[in-house]
Every structure is written in C-alpha cells, then in structure tokens.
Amino acid sequence: MIAAEAVIAGDTVHRPGWLAELGGVISGIGAGEPPRKPDLNYPDGIAAPGFVDMHVHGGGGSSYTDGDAAEVRAAAAFHREHGTTTTITSTVSAGPDQLRATVERLRDLVHAGVSAGIHLEGPWISESRCGAHDPEVLRNPDRKEIADLLEVADGTIAMVTLAPELPGAFDAIDQFVDAGVVVAVGHTNSTYDQAREALRRGARVATHLFNTMPPLGHREPGPVLALMEDPRVVVELIGDGVHLHPALVRDVQRAVGFDRVALVTDAMVAAGKPDGAYQLGSLDVTVANGIARISATGAIAGSTATMGGLFARSAHGLSDGAPNASDEVLIACAAMTSGNPARVLGRADVGALTVGRRAHVVILDQDLRVNHVLAGE
C-alpha cells in the first residue's frame, strides 16, 4: 500500500491518493486516505507512472549501441534511478555485419526483460541529415537485409527510423509494417509529399521532430508539417533545452495535443557523467557544459538528459511561471513521458497508474525531482 500527497491516475490526480500493489501489479487505486495503513507513505510526494523512454542510446557511462550485455544492463539501471522503468535500446547506424551482431545481442536482452525492444535508428537515413551517425555506413534499404534482421531479431525490433526519400524506402516501410514494427520518419531530407506517402503506408512516429529534418518552409513545408498535421502520428521531442527552444517545445505540445507527444531523451553514454571525451558508435564525442557534440563536426550527438529531467522541465514550461504545476499539467506530462510512448510501443501493461498495469511508480518531490522509483515486476 502506497500513499502520497498526489497520485497521477490516468486523466485524474488524486489529492491525497493511494495505490495498492499485489504481485507487481496495481490492484487498487483511489483518493483520500488509504483503506489500510500504508507500507510506504510520501506525504509530500507526487506519484507518477514510471517513465517510458522510446529513444535512448545509453547513460551513466554505459552504452546500448553495440548490445554488450553488461553495458546495456548498467545503462538501464542508471536510467531507472531517474525514473525510466521501461526502456527501448536504440542503436546507431552500422555496417551490415555489425548491425546484425548488435541485434542478436540486444534480442537476448529484450527476451530477458532488460529492454522493451530494439529501435533501429538508421542505417537507412539521409547522408545530408545524418547528424551523429557515421555517413560511411549509411545505405539504401535492402529487402534481403531487412528480412534477415527481422528473422534474427525474433520479434524484438520495436521501431525503425528511416528516411522515406531513399530508393526502396517505401517498400521497406511496407515490409516493417507487415512485420509489426513501428516505422518512424527521421534523419530525412524528404519533401512534404514523400513524408505524406510514408504516413499513408503506415509510418506513425516522427523521430525527434525538427532535429535532422529540413526546416519548415512557406513554399516547401517538408516533413515537419506532414508529421504535425497527421493525427495518427506521435511526435518525439527532445525537450532538454538544447535540441529545441523551450518555447517551441511548449507550443508544439499545445498545437498537436498532449496525446500526440512523446518526450524522449535520445541520451547517450555521457548522461549523468562529467564533461569529457566519449564514444557514440564509431564516432568520437566531446561533452562540454553538458552538451554532447561530434568532435569532428560539432553536430549535436544525442543528449545527456534523463526522463525525470524532461518531466520537470516540461511541467515548468507549461506552467507559465506558476510556482507549482497544476493537475492538468501533471496529467499532460505523465502522458508525454509514459502513456503516449507506451501506446506507440503497444504496451498496455505500463504507461499509467491504473488497476491491472504494472506497479511502475515514480515518486516526485514538490520540485518534480525524482526521489524514489518503485518498479514491481
């Protein structure tokens, strides 16, 4: 039995509130005093659903990108301390043999429950919009390679990011959608019409909207408008104050609706670590003032953010200077950090504090900092 000053329960905030856990599952939830003496009591705490990060490459000094089991477990543990109870393991672009080997290793970790699935970010992306991906390993989608990866993955590839303007991309979208993989449009130089065709074929996510895409133009709106205007699309936003201006984050959230935004960290190995030299895949990265950049080009190389930090930053941004987040803001931020990404990934067992879902609970203090993480399995 857990009691808190506030419990974010779906589209309601109970003040005060409680929830009961049995066998790792929420067995009851409600407002007011709990029906029995609580085992855990947080009289100044806010209970939020455990965060779901659908785009992350590592953290805490460890990486997801090559599938090393010890590294993946360590990075997942770091992010769990900061509230992420469900993590996707995102790769970076790599050559065919290396990518296949990485998928094999990550597959076993998905089956072991360490990860909720694999996100293939590349290598089927635009060279001109590759960002922190090695341009030497980029290539056009190949039906045989994709079929081989899908077979090796054994159902563990959850999402793929690709550029729809590449030769063979539309066929690849069909192939992935038929296999039950979520297709995301990103690292792309596509036109508005090309992005629309990708959505017609089943793409449903915008990989870190605005970043590694052409800017919105008044004569050629490009992929940004296509992704924002389609009500079926969930848009990723890296709301760390570096990748996007905070005002843009706030206005996009309000423009498309809080039910269509997934806040993601896109975190790399340096999250939670001091400034210095790091690696992202095969590329050297320098972190200065908490900002990660490719050493050779200066391109932003993922983030050093955590989901807990994104929840707090977004809530403060939506509060328009108010000292405390309103219940409406708390509900919106829970949706963007948990409910929406869980829905994208097809996970009905996490994403909200409701009866029957896993008891993945993050306790926030009054400043919305993560104090405790409870993750009943």
Which residues form the catalytic set? 266
Answer for the pair 240, 310: CB distance below 8 angstroms, yes or no. yes
Query: Which one-letter amino acid corresponds to residue 234?
Result: V
Separation CA 368–CA 257 (nearest Å): 22
Tokens 């990989």 sit at which residue?
A: 207
- Check residue 233 and report its DSSP letter: P
The burial class, CB within 10 Å (0-12 / 13-18 / 19+), for 64 is buried
Q: Sign of torsion, CA 206 208 212 215? A: positive
User: 278 - beta bridge partners?
Assistant: 285
- Check residue 214 and report its DSSP letter: P
Separation CA 42–CA 10 (nearest Å): 19
Answer for the pair 368, 353: CB distance below 8 angstroms, yes or no. no
Please state, as a whole number, how many other Cβ atoms lie within 10 Å of the Cβ of residue 112. 11
- Joined together, the tokens standing for residue 149 give 């990866």
Secondary structure element (H or E) that encloses residue 362, with its range = strand 360-364
Name the maximum alpha-carbon separation found in the chain.
63
Helices 222-229 and 192-200: crossing angle in degrees, nearest 10, is 40
